């Protein structure tokens, strides 16, 4: 049930059985989201999973075939204006007027929202674009364009910020800056942040809560720590005489397998991974082995999905997703 206003703790976004069908294909297929106020809520899924479609539904840009949406308790269908009043949004490819300056671009939205002029300086400062505010957008770097998109989303101090793949196309430095920026937003602005991505590592580093979507369906929703708990990390080892290393490790109740010229060991839990790796390292060095590579392998989205959805394909062909004709 969608929560009514004033009953219990407020959820920023709540959806119930949300569905959107495109030409017989369920792009969003019975999605129940519950985004707690104050969270950084990661919306994680591979290409074509239904992230942007869900976001467009949340913003009233698409009409669902069924289901309900409430934003801070306001039903999007019946109280559209009130529901969307407190929402700021940035899409993955921010559209700006190239022949205008950053400041002039923001001024257009400021006027539409009937906000004070000082609001522009505030958001420029927040995204650290003050020094290029009077430069034409056509001379902006991609990172600056993204930040200008965020600045626009921040106008009017919305209580909910929705970002669709905000790091797409950025270089590693730009990605890190964006990540750090998003991470500090709830503390700095009091806003709840809903951010989509297909990068597990990115979401893992910023989100307090996460929903994983595949083929239009939510396959996990909960706290980030709970998702992390599902994953048994692995240690990769390379060095001289790996067969002897493997034999040695087998005797200490570890079960190494060989892959791409390295030994791979499944560790017991994410929380203790570093401690376990250090102990194994110590044991190998004490035993006189010559090790030149010992790394906790990054957790990959594909593996997480295998754990969550088993053998289901990661990407749907349209035929797989078509509803049975009846
Ligand atoms: N306007 C549309 N008309 C028809 N099909 C659409 C439309 N928009 C999206 N789809 C289909 O809906 C499915 C979900 O698309 P969506 O854009 O929501 O995925 P996504 O998770 O945002 O993917 P990406 O990571 O590539 O951005 C895809 O199969 C897509 O082809
Ligand atoms: Mg998308």
CATH of the domain at 161: 3.40.50.300
Q: What is the pLDDT of residue 309?
A: 74
Is 324 among the domain residues?
no
Residues 219 and 88 in one domain: yes
Q: Which residues line ligand 1 (CB under 6 A)?
A: 22, 27, 45, 47-53, 198
Residues 107 and 155 in one domain: yes
- Helices assigned H by DSSP within the chain: 51-58, 80-85, 102-112, 118-126, 142-154, 172-189, 200-206, 224-229, 242-251, 273-286, 301-309, 318-321
Pocket test for ligand 1, best of 22, 56, 195 (most atoms within 8 A of CB): 22
Residues 116 and 82 in one domain: yes
| Ligand of minimum distance to the alpha carbon of 318 | 1
Q: What is the pLDDT of residue 1?
A: 53
Separation of 198 CA from ligand 1 center, angstroms?
Answer: 13
Residues 43 and 66 in one domain: yes
| Short-list 111, 182, 181, 192, CA closest to 157 | 192
Q: Which residue CA neighbors atom 30 of ligand 1 most closely?
A: 48
Cα three-residue angle 252-298-92, rounded to 5 degrees: 165
Per-residue pLDDT of the chain (326 residues; tens, 9 = 90+): 555 555 556 899 999 999 999 998 999 999 999 999 999 999 999 889 999 999 999 999 999 999 999 999 999 999 999 999 989 999 887 789 999 999 999 999 999 999 999 999 999 998 899 999 999 999 999 889 999 999 999 999 999 999 999 988 888 888 898 899 999 999 988 999 999 999 888 898 899 999 999 999 999 999 988 888 787 889 999 999 999 999 999 998 888 999 889 999 999 887 888 999 999 999 999 999 999 999 998 777 777 777 787 655 555 444 444 444 33
Q: Which residue CA neighbors atom 27 of ligand 1 most closely?
A: 47
Is 283 among the domain residues?
yes
Q: Which residue CA neighbors atom 9 of ligand 1 most closely?
A: 53
Q: What is the pLDDT of residue 226?
A: 86
Separation of 108 CA from ligand 2 center, angstroms?
Answer: 26
Q: From 213, 229, 245, give the residue that closes a domain.
A: 229
Q: Which residue CA neighbors atom 24 of ligand 1 most closely?
A: 47
In whole angstroms, what is the distance from residue 186 CA to residue 255 CA? 43
Distance of CA 248 to the CA centre of its chain: 41
Separation of 210 CA from ligand 2 center, angstroms?
Answer: 17
Separation of 69 CA from ligand 2 center, angstroms?
Answer: 19
Q: What is the pLDDT of residue 204?
A: 87
126-178 confidence digits (pLDDT tens): 889 999 999 999 999 988 999 999 999 999 999 999 999 998 888 888 889 88
Q: What is the pLDDT of residue 91?
A: 87
Residues 266 and 186 in one domain: no
Q: What is the pLDDT of residue 298?
A: 77
Atom of ligand 1 nearest to the CA of 46: 25
Total domains, the chain: 2
Residue in this structure with the two tokens 């869900």, named with its chain if needed: 54
Residues 173 and 274 in one domain: no
93-119 confidence digits (pLDDT tens): 778 999 999 999 999 999 999 999 999
Separation of 310 CA from ligand 2 center, angstroms?
Answer: 23
Burial class (CB in 10 A: 0-12, 13-18, 19+), 87: buried
Distance of CA 128 to the CA centre of its chain: 23
Residues 184 and 268 in one domain: no
Residues 162 and 219 in one domain: yes
Residues 192 and 48 in one domain: yes
| Short-list 252, 230, 232, 246, CA closest to 296 | 232
Q: What is the pLDDT of residue 8?
A: 56
Is 92 among the domain residues?
yes
In whole angstroms, what is the distance from residue 138 CA to residue 192 CA? 31
Q: What is the pLDDT of residue 2?
A: 56
């Amino acid at each position: 049930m969608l929560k009514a206003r004033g009953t219990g703790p407020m959820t920023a976004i709540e959806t119930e059985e949300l569905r959107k069908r495109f030409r017989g294909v369920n792009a969003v297929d019975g999605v129940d989201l519950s985004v707690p106020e104050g969270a950084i809520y990661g919306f994680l899924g591979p290409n074509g999973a239904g992230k942007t479609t869900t976001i467009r539904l949340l913003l009233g840009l698409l009409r669902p075939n069924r289901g309900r949406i409430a934003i801070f308790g306001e039903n999007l269908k019946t109280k559209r204006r009130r529901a969307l009043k407190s929402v700021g949004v940035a899409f993955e490819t921010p559209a700006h007027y190239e022949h205008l300056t950053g400041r002039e671009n923001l001024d257009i939205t400021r006027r539409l929202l009937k906000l004070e002029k000082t609001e522009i300086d505030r958001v420029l400062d927040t995204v650290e674009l003050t020094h290029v505010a009077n430069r034409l957008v056509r001379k902006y770097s991609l990172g600056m364009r993204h930040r200008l998109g965020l600045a626009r989303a921040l106008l009017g101090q919305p209580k909910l910020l929705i970002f669709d793949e905000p790091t797409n196309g950025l270089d590693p430095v730009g990605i890190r800056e964006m990540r750090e920026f998003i991470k500090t937003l709830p503390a700095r602005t009091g806003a709840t942040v809903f951010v989509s991505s297909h990068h597990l590592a990115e979401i893992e580093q910023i989100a307090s809560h996460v929903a994983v979507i595949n083929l239009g369906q939510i396959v996990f929703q909960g706290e980030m720590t709970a998702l992390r708990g599902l994953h048994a990390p692995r240690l990769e080892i390379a060095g001289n005489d790996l067969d002897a290393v493997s034999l040695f490790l087998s005797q200490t109740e570890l079960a190494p397998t060989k892959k791409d010229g390295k030994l791979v060991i499944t560790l017991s839990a994410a929380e203790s991974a570093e401690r376990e790796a250090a102990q194994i390292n110590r044991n190998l060095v004490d035993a006189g082995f010559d090790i030149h590579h010992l790394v906790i392998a990054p957790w990959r989205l594909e593996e997480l999905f295998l754990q969550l959805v088993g053998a289901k394909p990661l990407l749907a062909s349209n035929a797989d997703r078509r509803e049975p004709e009846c």
